[in-house]
Structure 1
Amino acid sequence: RIHGLGWGVLVMALSTYPYVFLLSTESFSICGRRQLEACRCLGVGPWESFRRIALPMALPAIGAGIALMGMEVVNELGAVQLLGIPSLSAGILQAWQLEGNPAGAVGLALVTLIIVTGLLIGERKLRRRSRRWSEGLTGGESPNWTLTGTRALAAQALGFIPPFLSLGTPLIWACLNLDQLQTGLQPELLLLTLRSLGLALAAAGLALAAALLLAITKRWTTAPWLHSLTFLAGLGYAIPGAVLALALLIIGGPWQLSPILLLLWGYSDRFLAVAKGGLDAGLERMSPSLDEAASGLGCRWPDVLRRIHIPLLRGPLAVGALLVFVDTVKELPLTFALRPFDFDTLSVRVFQYASDERLAAALWPALMILGLGLIAAAALIPGLDHTTET
């Protein structure tokens, strides 16, 4: 039976490892090429080159991914509830809605905030200790070490197991329940998909724009208060979706803001850290001499942003867009609380059907969430390779 803490750890690991995988892949793909080539010319082996060159230069991106994983696990609601695991998010909702205890809900929210603040502080310290500047985007291919025999088989197996478990399991489950797929197909599935797609695209655009503004401002300004502001802006991911929804309802009520506008506001605030983490790590790799050289040649800051920073940040921008898009599609507490009347999304409908044990009806919305994520990945991940060839 799939139930309990052990299964919860496995499910959360398989659903959150892309945070580290995508950010670290983007970082490994562009940084330290010349250093690795120098190591190879000096006779340094692949493992030693990885430990001494590639890994230290990718630590900011890896730290950002681990921090995002931790925040996602702390704020998870749907999976842990279905697996019967007590969690902070579930406790906040129970204290607020079922027990009518706002003070208890606020106390649990503060505990969540402290945990995630600790994750962010640790990630920033790791980034500061591992600060390395790379040459940016360079031509040519990265040094390759050809694997043969058992090493090649082991590498292929390690690369195959995680996606097989995370993507293959639901597909195998669907294939074993084809009869239920035929009976569970609902006419409103297309409408639910379009709603989720529209919200995810809008949220990704807003979050990326805000994250880019904050990251560039932090790089160009040395004011301590501004650095503190950009740090606090990333704490939106620490606020449980239900608490953030309540705050937005209190703020937007007197102004009579549209529920859709509140939803987009909540998505942008909540997932700002997801987009900003990769951008901060990308900017950490850029030497300040790039900005100084451009300014010395008479370029104004819009030209520096357009001609230097954005081309060098194409990888982090693509990864941030993908992560925000996928997170928005599967976001549950915020959507559940703020959605207008009769405005369900795929994630809300999956949770409703699964809670009622209507697995046949939940299959199609769940597969559509998986499909949207795969389409977004297929559209954006190839861009990581193109940036290395620019």
Structure 2
Amino acid sequence: MRRFTSAFRAFPLVFLALVLTLPVLAVFAAWLPWGSGDADAGAILREMASTVLPGYVWTTVWLGLMVAVGAAVVGTAAAATVTLFDFPGRRTLEWVLLLPLAMPAYVTAYAYTDFLQFSGPLQVWLRETYGLEGRLLPEVRSLGGAVWVFVFSLYPYIYLLARTALGERAAHLMEAARLLGAPLSRRIAAVALPLARPAVAAGVALVLMETLADFGVVSYFGIQTFTTGIYKAWLSMDNRIAAAQLATFLLVLVVLLLQLEIRAQRRMRFVTNGAGRASSAEAQPLQLRGWRSVAAWLVCVLPVLMGFVAPVLFMLRPLAADWSVLPWSRFLEWALNSVRLGGITAVLAVVIALALAFAVRRRPDAVTRGVVQLVSLGYAVPGAVIVVGLLLPVGWLQAAAPDWGLASLITATAVGIVWAYLVRFSAVALQSVQSGYARIPVSLDDSARMLGTGSWALMSRVHWPLLKRSTAAAALLVFVDVMKELPATMVLRPFNSDTLAVVAYQLARDERLGEAALPSLALVAVGLVPVIMLSRTLRSRSR
């Protein structure tokens, strides 16, 4: 009887895990005999393997390697500069370096293209001023242009983790090395960088996952990566099995990167454990003067300039030049669609996160922990994989029961797109809620249980008042992520319900970059909210 009761209690959690992991399971099921019954899928994969697939792999590998190296150099240099040295403006630059997090990578791509392309204002001005002809700057829509965009859009992931790792012990240990007579270059190479290595590895894994999951930049620049190959197999070749089988390769690579990130996070916790605040506070950052101060300032300012200030200025130019060309009449409709989808998903994600976190708090058994780990994997799954994995089982069920109308329920309403959002972003809400629970002493639960408090009363009267801030932060983070999400939104959105992200992409693809500036800037403004919250949190912790 006890086993039956335990299984009955675990059923809702297991069912929730299946719902949120169904797209991933469906992608792998495409290789099973009953799932890969489409004879054309094998022929398409063989044809792609002999023609375009090696190019997809080669381009994806080169893109990932160059972005990883570039973001690691930029992020680590900025983190080391603001942590180990003191110079004018350091306190301001500590949070200013986070601003590129508010810029979706595809928005940065539109901005640079509008300003630097052959018909852009910079090349036109150079030709008119100096009497030159032809192309004067390298082509923006290229692999190098994509690397530039990704490096200056994603380096804050590495900057944040490296700054945290260095702030724990680096200043104290570098001071000890200085007293032992080590020069500055050796202190950085032998003390600071080894301390930051696990954090940099974790940040690089996150950067690579974001790069592999991207669709907006590579599609707009015409770069043939694995993600674009998945969409071509699905939309151009009209074969869902081939798309799903391609998606498995991308998913396996993302899982490997996720394991790398988890291992690096564990090593980072091991490195930072044991360092007290007092010992770190005793060793102050090294004061820089003269040209060294200028160099440190440039190291921190250039990433912000390239990743945030310049793209924003490029997008403000068409707004200032001619307001009449901007799509003001439909902007409110697009914004409302984005807000509606973001609000619905944020509420549902927070409810799921609260239920899972409370279940782990009350009964941290193997089933509950397994469900939480499965849900936490969703954020690492690329949007292209989620789209394919969501529509694939729907196609199977539609073929088996055509009268049920499941396909129209998923694609013609907001059910499918909200489902995809929950698969990817429930992990964001769960992480925030779990961090809130970590600050609630277990003794409160024991006291409430001794007073005869039930589960619902414990949640509503004890936990909820202490979780309001964490819950609000979780809802905000999910809301902003949904507003910026592009791949799943573009495929699964209901008819005539475009969002700001989709409209910005479509206008840029149609070379209407001036009109794309308005929805793009709106996305940046929304993205600034969590960045400001994060910067305030980091500043309060550093005091």
Question: Shorter-chain TM-score: what band?
Answer: 0.7 to 0.9
Q: Which moved more, 1:337-346 or 1:186-195?
A: 186-195
The one-letter code of the counterpart of 2:379 is: Y
| Cα deviation, residue 152, structure 1 | 2.6
TM-score by length of 2: 0.56
| Cα deviation, residue 92, structure 1 | 1.1
Q: Which moved more, 1:359-368 or 1:228-237?
A: 228-237
Aligned with 2:288 (options 148, 156, 162):
148
Q: Which moved more, 1:134-143 or 1:1-10?
A: 134-143
1:123-147 deviation digits (Å, cap 9, x = unpaired):
2222333434769998999554252
| Cα deviation, residue 94, structure 1 | 0.9
Query: Cα 1:220–1:19, aligned 2, differ >3 Å: closer, same or farther?
Result: farther
Equivalent residue, structure 2, for 1:74: 212
Equivalent residue, structure 1, for 2:325: 183
Is the Cα–Cα contact under 8 Å of residues 207 and 269 in structure 1 kept in the other structure? no
Equivalent residue, structure 2, for 1:244: 386
Tell me whether 1:333 sits opposite 2:474 in the alignment. no
Tell me whether 1:193 sits opposite 2:342 in the alignment. no
| Cα deviation, residue 28, structure 1 | 5.5
Equivalent residue, structure 1, for 2:151: 13
Equivalent residue, structure 1, for 2:256: 118
Q: Which moved more, 1:356-365 or 1:257-266?
A: 257-266
Query: Cα 1:321–1:85, aligned 2, differ >3 Å: closer, same or farther?
Result: farther
Equivalent residue, structure 2, for 1:157: 298
Aligned with 2:372 (options 230, 242, 249):
230
Tell me whether 1:356 sits opposite 2:510 in the alignment. yes
Aligned with 1:172 (options 302, 313, 318):
313
Query: Cα 1:181–1:20, aligned 2, differ >3 Å: closer, same or farther?
Result: farther
Alpha-carbon distance in 1 for matches of 2:165, 2:465 = 23
Equivalent residue, structure 1, for 2:501: 347
Alpha-carbon distance in 1 for matches of 2:264, 2:302 = 29
Query: Cα 1:322–1:16, aligned 2, differ >3 Å: closer, same or farther?
Result: farther
The one-letter code of the counterpart of 2:326 is: G
Query: Cα 1:220–1:357, aligned 2, differ >3 Å: closer, same or farther?
Result: same
TM-score by length of 1: 0.75
Alpha-carbon distance in 1 for matches of 2:190, 2:171 = 14
Is the Cα–Cα contact under 8 Å of residues 150 and 211 in structure 2 kept in the other structure? yes
Q: Which 5+ residue runs of structure 1 have no aligned equivalent?
A: none
1:204-255 deviation digits (Å, cap 9, x = unpaired):
4544564576578668876555544433323323444344235445289289
Query: Cα 1:348–1:90, aligned 2, differ >3 Å: closer, same or farther?
Result: same
Q: Which moved more, 1:82-91 or 1:40-49?
A: 40-49
Q: Which moved more, 1:175-184 or 1:350-359?
A: 175-184
**Bigger Rg, structure 1 or 2:** 2
Query: Cα 1:348–1:140, aligned 2, differ >3 Å: closer, same or farther?
Result: farther
Equivalent residue, structure 2, for 1:264: 418
Equivalent residue, structure 2, for 1:85: 223
Q: Which moved more, 1:114-123 or 1:175-184?
A: 175-184
SS across alignment from 2:329: coil
Tell me whether 1:373 sits opposite 2:513 in the alignment. no
SS across alignment from 2:328: coil
| Cα deviation, residue 20, structure 1 | 3.3
Is the Cα–Cα contact under 8 Å of residues 266 and 334 in structure 1 kept in the other structure? yes
Alpha-carbon distance in 2 for matches of 1:234, 1:54 = 30
Q: Which moved more, 1:341-350 or 1:129-138?
A: 129-138
The one-letter code of the counterpart of 1:165 is: M
The one-letter code of the counterpart of 1:80 is: V
| Cα deviation, residue 116, structure 1 | 0.6
1:323-354 deviation digits (Å, cap 9, x = unpaired):
54443222112112222221111111011111
Q: Which 5+ residue runs of structure 2 have no aligned equivalent?
A: 1-138, 398-404, 450-457
Query: Cα 1:388–1:121, aligned 2, differ >3 Å: closer, same or farther?
Result: same
Query: Cα 1:220–1:156, aligned 2, differ >3 Å: closer, same or farther?
Result: farther
SS across alignment from 2:223: coil
Is the Cα–Cα contact under 8 Å of residues 212 and 276 in structure 1 kept in the other structure? yes
Indicate the RMSD between aligned Cα atoms, in angstroms: 4.6
The one-letter code of the counterpart of 1:245 is: V
The one-letter code of the counterpart of 2:376 is: G
Is the Cα–Cα contact under 8 Å of residues 173 and 191 in structure 2 kept in the other structure? no
Is the Cα–Cα contact under 8 Å of residues 378 and 427 in structure 2 kept in the other structure? yes
SS across alignment from 2:376: helix
Alpha-carbon distance in 2 for matches of 1:355, 1:126 = 38
Alpha-carbon distance in 1 for matches of 2:346, 2:300 = 28
Equivalent residue, structure 2, for 1:253: 406
| Cα deviation, residue 74, structure 1 | 0.9
Is the Cα–Cα contact under 8 Å of residues 484 and 523 in structure 2 kept in the other structure? yes
Q: Which moved more, 1:116-125 or 1:217-226?
A: 217-226
Is the Cα–Cα contact under 8 Å of residues 181 and 363 in structure 1 kept in the other structure? no
Query: Cα 1:262–1:64, aligned 2, differ >3 Å: closer, same or farther?
Result: farther
Is the Cα–Cα contact under 8 Å of residues 112 and 238 in structure 1 kept in the other structure? no
| Cα deviation, residue 110, structure 1 | 0.2
| Cα deviation, residue 71, structure 1 | 1.9
Q: Which moved more, 1:323-332 or 1:127-136?
A: 127-136
1:130-178 deviation digits (Å, cap 9, x = unpaired):
4347699989995542522133323222221112111122223234433
1:301-339 deviation digits (Å, cap 9, x = unpaired):
96996799x69x96x995x66654443222112112222
Is the Cα–Cα contact under 8 Å of residues 195 and 345 in structure 1 kept in the other structure? yes
The one-letter code of the counterpart of 2:308 is: L
The one-letter code of the counterpart of 1:101 is: N
Alpha-carbon distance in 2 for matches of 1:231, 1:51 = 36
1:80-126 deviation digits (Å, cap 9, x = unpaired):
01111112221111101210222220111101110110011112222
